[in-house]
């Protein structure tokens, strides 16, 4: 019996999933930097365009290198189909646009990454889609936001930047009872710690820029769902609007997948260690880490995630204290990215979430003293020393 990749352990899927070798038999996945493809004859071109014969046509529609990335991620996620996009935002925007029409209504968790929030609050209404934000941890709020024209629920869990956790199965049940679909941004959990499709989600999106690359090189994104939904909701949209991932970036991301599990588990172990240390420091008034017992949704985390993730956040007293913390770091970089091998600290109010109106920021619990810390692969002792020193500095001059 031939091996079925669906039965492989995750480590094997990450290294070998979707492998399609050229006639040269290369070990490392081939990079096909080609925009278009030649057909042996005119009838073959006709057959490929009509869909009667399989084969590549043009890089905007598909590419052999991109397809390896897509097939590997689909296998990992347990999805029938993955379509790669040029960035996480291209994935989020297309995932929503493909499902919504003028006159439809969308419900989204209030705590969203700033650009996702802009798409929901500013872009979709321009095209006649009504939107409602809810406290994503409040099941009653999801339920009462439902209208007769509600078509999509958008969940980001854990959410950026305060790592709030939504009960995915319960929210999916509410959505489905209302005839709506669930789109879930799984960036913070990663495919290693959370399987949204098993929790009732209909469409999963990723910024592959984060943990999947994980080494600070390229942007990328992905939409995962059933073959039928991709065919009906996404195929034409992606083909004609052009958010395609470049094959070079697909190649980098494919190599990123090979080490994803090792990296993310190590990063999460160090994050859990730092969360203990940060939570116990006198300069910190609140810690946010899904893997910590103090997390308000710890019971849901235990049910739907197999690890706490690589990012934590915490509140210092003021913006000045948060900035003193950042400026005192000697190893951790000040940067707005996350999921990287290099640890990074961010001040969300003035960077990633500055486009969110202040009243909304406060409503979602994001204070001027909040710092987000993405934990990388550096030595845990060095990071502990760097973070402790910076916390001491944040307090000392305060």
Ligand X SMILES: Cc1ncc(COP(=O)(O)O)c(C=O)c1O
List of residues contacting ligand X (CB under 6 A): 87-89, 92, 113, 115-116, 156, 160, 185, 187, 207, 209, 219, 221
Closer to ligand X by CB, 34 or 351: give it.
351
Closer to ligand X by CB, 145 or 205: give it.
205
Closer to ligand X by CB, 159 or 180: give it.
159
User: In angstroms, what is the minimal distance from the CB of 265 to ligand X?
Assistant: 20
User: In angstroms, what is the minimal distance from the CB of 339 to ligand X?
Assistant: 9
User: In angstroms, what is the minimal distance from the CB of 286 to ligand X?
Assistant: 20
User: In angstroms, what is the minimal distance from the CB of 190 to ligand X?
Assistant: 11
Closer to ligand X by CB, 71 or 156: give it.
156
User: In angstroms, what is the minimal distance from the CB of 271 to ligand X?
Assistant: 16
User: In angstroms, what is the minimal distance from the CB of 352 to ligand X?
Assistant: 7
Q: Rounded to whole angstroms, how far apart are CA atoms 190 and 359?
A: 30
Closer to ligand X by CB, 87 or 166: give it.
87
Closer to ligand X by CB, 219 or 391: give it.
219
| Position closest to ligand X via CB | 88
Q: Give every CB contact of residue 206 below 8 A, 6+ residues apart in sequence.
A: 73, 88, 91, 185, 186, 187, 191, 212, 221, 222, 224
């Amino acid at each position: 019996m031939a091996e079925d990749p669906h039965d492989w352990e995750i480590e094997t899927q990450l290294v070998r999933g979707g492998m399609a070798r050229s006639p040269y038999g290369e070990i490392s996945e081939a990079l096909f930097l080609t925009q278009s493809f030649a057909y042996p004859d005119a009838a073959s071109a006709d057959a490929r365009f009509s869909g009667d014969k399989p084969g590549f046509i043009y890089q905007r529609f598909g590419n052999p290198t991109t397809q390896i990335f897509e097939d590997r991620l689909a296998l990992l996620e347990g999805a029938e189909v993955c379509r790669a996009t040029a960035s996480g935002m291209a994935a989020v925007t297309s995932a929503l646009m493909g499902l919504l029409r003028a006159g439809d209504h969308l419900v989204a968790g209030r705590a969203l990454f700033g650009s996702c929030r802009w798409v929901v609050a500013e872009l979709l209404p321009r095209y006649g889609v009504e939107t409602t934000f809810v406290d994503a941890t409040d099941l009653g709020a999801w339920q009462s936001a439902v209208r007769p024209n509600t078509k999509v629920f958008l969940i980001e869990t854990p959410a950026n930047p305060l790592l709030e956790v939504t009960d995915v199965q319960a929210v999916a049940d509410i959505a489905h009872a209302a005839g709506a679909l669930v789109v879930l941004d799984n960036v913070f959990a990663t495919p290693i710690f959370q399987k949204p499709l098993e929790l009732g989600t209909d469409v999963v999106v990723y910024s592959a820029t984060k943990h999947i690359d994980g080494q600070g090189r390229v942007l990328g994104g992905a939409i995962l769902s059933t073959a039928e939904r991709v065919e009906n909701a996404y195929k034409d949209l992606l083909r004609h609007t052009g958010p395609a991932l470049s094959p070079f970036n697909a190649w980098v991301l494919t190599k990123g997948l090979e080490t994803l599990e090792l990296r993310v588990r190590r990063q999460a172990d160090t994050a859990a260690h730092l969360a203990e240390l940060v939570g116990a420091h006198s300069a910190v008034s609140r810690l946010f880490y899904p893997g910590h017992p103090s997390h308000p949704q710890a019971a849901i985390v235990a049910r739907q995630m197999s690890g706490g993730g690589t990012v934590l956040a915490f509140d210092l007293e003021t913006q000045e204290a948060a900035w003193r913390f950042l400026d005192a770091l000697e190893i951790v970089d000040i940067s707005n990215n996350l999921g990287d091998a290099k640890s990074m600290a961010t001040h969300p109010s003035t960077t990633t979430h500055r486009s969110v109106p202040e009243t909304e920021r406060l409503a979602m619990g994001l204070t001027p003293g909040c710092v987000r810390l993405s934990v990388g692969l550096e030595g845990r002792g060095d990071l502990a020393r760097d973070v402790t020193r910076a916390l001491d500095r944040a307090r000392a001059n305060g």
